[in-house]
Amino acid sequence: MNPLPEEYSEVAAAAQLQRKREHLIGLLAPLGAPEPEVHASAPINFRQRAEFRVWHEGEETFYLMFGGPDSREQVRLREFPTASLRINALMTQLLQVLATLPVLKRKLWQVEFLDTLAGDSLVTLVYHRRLDEEWELAARQAARELGAMIVGRSRGQRVVLERDWVLESLEVEGRRLSYRQPEGSFTQPNAAVNQAMLGWATRACADSGGGDLLELYCGIGNFTVAVAGCFRQVLATEIGAAAISAARHNLAANGIENTVVARLSSAEAASAMARERPFRRLKDFDLDGFHPQTLLVDPPRAGLDPDTLALAANFPRIVYVSCNPQSLCRDLQALGPDFRITRTALFDQFPYTPHMECGVLLEKQASGD
C-alpha cells in the first residue's frame, strides 16, 4: 500500500482521474471503444473498508501502514482521511478502549474496519494468541463502548460476539437495495462509486430483451440484486460458501425470485453450459430451459481463463466489469472482432492511486457488419 498522499483535494483527485481516463481511452482505442462514462469519487471519506497493522511501543499503541518503494517503510496513523467518517471515529475510539482494556491489546497485530452507508459497522481484531473467556468479556464491553460489532481472529480461531456481518443500503436507479455484507468476504470498498457501478450495469442490461442471464463471480450478489429484474431468469455462480450464503440472503431480502445461485467455478459453469457433464449442484435447476443471451462477469485481477473466454465467445452480449484494464484488454482482444464495444465506463474506486475499475458492454456483430 502506498504512503498517504500529502494532499487530499478535489483538484488532486480530479487531475489523477483525468490521467486515468486518458490511459483507459488509450488502451481501448485500438478496439474501437467509445469514450467512457466517468464516475468520480468523493475526494475524502470514501472508503467503507480499511485494515491496518497495530504497533506497540511501550504503553503507546498506534496504527501502521507499509508503503513506498521499500515495503519496510512504516507510516504511522491515527486517522485515515480516505476512510469514512465512521471508520475514523472508530480508529480513535478503539485506541482509547485498548488503553483501558489491556487484555484486548495483548498480541493484537491487525485491525480491520467495515462500515456501510447505512451506518452499520464491524471491527475485526486479529491476534497472535488464543482468545479466551477473559478476552471475550473485554471484547463485549468494547463493542458496547464502540457501538459496533466485534469479531476476534487468531490462527485456527474465530470468535463472533453477536453477528459477523453488516447491513448496507444502496440506491440504484431509483430503487433502495439491501445487502448483507459478511466479515471476511469481498465487498466494494467505495460504496458511493459502487452505486454508480450498479446503475451503469443496470442500464447496460436494461435493453437485453428480457432473456436469461448467466453471471459468473457473483460474490455476495452485488450486481445480481441490481440487474436481476432486467431478465426472465438468472443463474449466478460463485465458489465461496460465505459469499453464496450472503447472495441468497440478499436476493430474498430484496424480493428477487427469478435467480438461482450455484456453487460453481467459472470453468465448471462453462462445462455445465456445454453439457460436458452433469453437476449435482444444478440438479434442481432446469438447465435445458435456460437460454442465456447475456453474460455478466466481474473476475479477479487475472481476468478470464481460457474456458471462460471460450464460453463468453458464444454470447450475444457480455457485460464485463474489471479491476484490471490490462487483463480486460487482453480478454477483449482474445474475443476478437466478432464483438463491438458499445458502452464503456470508468469508476474511480481508489482516488490517489493508479488503480481503476472499468466496465464495457460487448455486443456480437451480425454477419457482414
Q: What is the pLDDT of residues 285-311, one digit of tens each?
A: 999 999 999 999 999 999 999 999 999
* DSSP string over 314-351: T-SEEEEEES-HHHHHHHHHHH-TTEEEEEEEEE-SST
pTM for the model stands at 0.93
* pLDDT higher than threshold 80 for residue 89: yes
Q: What is the pLDDT of residue 3?
A: 46
Q: What is the pLDDT of residues 226-279, one digit of tens each?
A: 999 999 999 999 999 999 999 999 999 999 999 999 999 999 999 999 999 899
- DSSP 8-state class, residue 48: S
Quick one: pLDDT band at residue 210, thresholds 50, 70, 90?
A: confident
d(CA 317, CA 340): 10
Averaged pLDDT for residues 201-230: 94
Would you mind telling me the total number of residues written for the chain in this entry?
369
d(CA 271, CA 273): 6
Q: How many C-beta atoms surround the C-beta of residue 232 within 10 A?
A: 15
Averaged pLDDT for residues 45-58: 93
Q: Percent of the chain at pLDDT above 70?
A: 96
Q: Which of 323, 329, 358, 363 is catalytic?
A: 323
Q: What is the pLDDT of residue 367?
A: 62
* DSSP string over 165-227: EEEEEEEETTEEEEEEEETTS---S-HHHHHHHHHHHHHHHHTS-S-EEEEES-TTTHHHHHH
Q: What is the pLDDT of residue 209?
A: 76
* pLDDT higher than threshold 50 for residue 1: no
Q: What is the pLDDT of residue 5?
A: 54
**HSE, side-chain direction, 13 A CA sphere, residue 284:** 6
Q: What is the pLDDT of residue 65?
A: 86
d(CA 210, CA 280): 28
Q: What is the pLDDT of residue 2?
A: 44
Please confirm, yes or no, whether 218 is among the known catalytic residues: no
Please confirm, yes or no, whether 35 is among the known catalytic residues: no
Averaged pLDDT for residues 55-67: 86
Q: What is the pLDDT of residue 78?
A: 83
Q: Which of 183, 215, 238, 357 is catalytic?
A: 357
Mean residue pLDDT of the chain comes to 93
∠ CA 46-144-181 to the nearest 5 degrees?
Answer: 40
Q: What is the pLDDT of residues 305-361, one digit of tens each?
A: 999 999 999 999 999 999 999 999 999 999 999 999 999 999 999 999 889 999 999
d(CA 82, CA 86): 11
Query: Which CATH code of 3.40.50.10470, 3.20.20.140, 3.30.750.24, 3.40.50.150 fits the domain covering 10-43+190-364?
Result: 3.40.50.150
CATH number for the domain whose boundaries are 49-166: 2.40.50.1070
Residue linked to cell 481484531: 125
Sequence spans of domains, the chain: 10-43+190-364, 49-166
Averaged pLDDT for residues 97-111: 96
Q: Which of 7-16, 113-122, 210-219 has the lowest mean pLDDT?
A: 7-16
Q: What is the pLDDT of residue 250?
A: 98
